[in-house]
Amino acid sequence: MSEDKLLFDADRNLITMGDRRVVFHCHHYNLFLQRTIEDGLGTQDAERVQVAAAMEATRAMLRSRTPVAAAASVSQQLAQCNRLFGALGFGQANLTHITPQGGRITLTTSHYAVGWKAKWGVAKHPVCYFPLGFWMGALSVAANVAPERLLGRELSCSALDAACCELEVEVL
Q: 5-28: per-residue pLDDT in tens?
A: 777 778 887 777 777 777 777 777
pTM for the complete prediction?
Answer: 0.87
C-alpha to C-alpha distance for 13 and 5, rounded to whole angstroms: 16
Res 155: pLDDT: 97
C-alpha to C-alpha distance for 167 and 127, rounded to whole angstroms: 11
Return phi, psi of residue 35, to 5°.
-70, -35
Domain boundary assignment for the chain: 26-171
C-alpha to C-alpha distance for 114 and 95, rounded to whole angstroms: 20
C-alpha to C-alpha distance for 104 and 108, rounded to whole angstroms: 13
Res 8: pLDDT: 79
Kindly report the number of other CB atoms within 10 A of residue 162's CB atom. 14
CATH class given for the domain over 26-171: alpha beta
Say how far residue 55 (Cα) sits from the centre of its chain: 7
CA atoms within 13 A on the CB side of 42: 2
Kindly report the number of other CB atoms within 10 A of residue 140's CB atom. 23
For 140-152, the pLDDT digits (tens) are: 999 999 999 999 9
Amino acid at 71: A
Res 2: pLDDT: 41
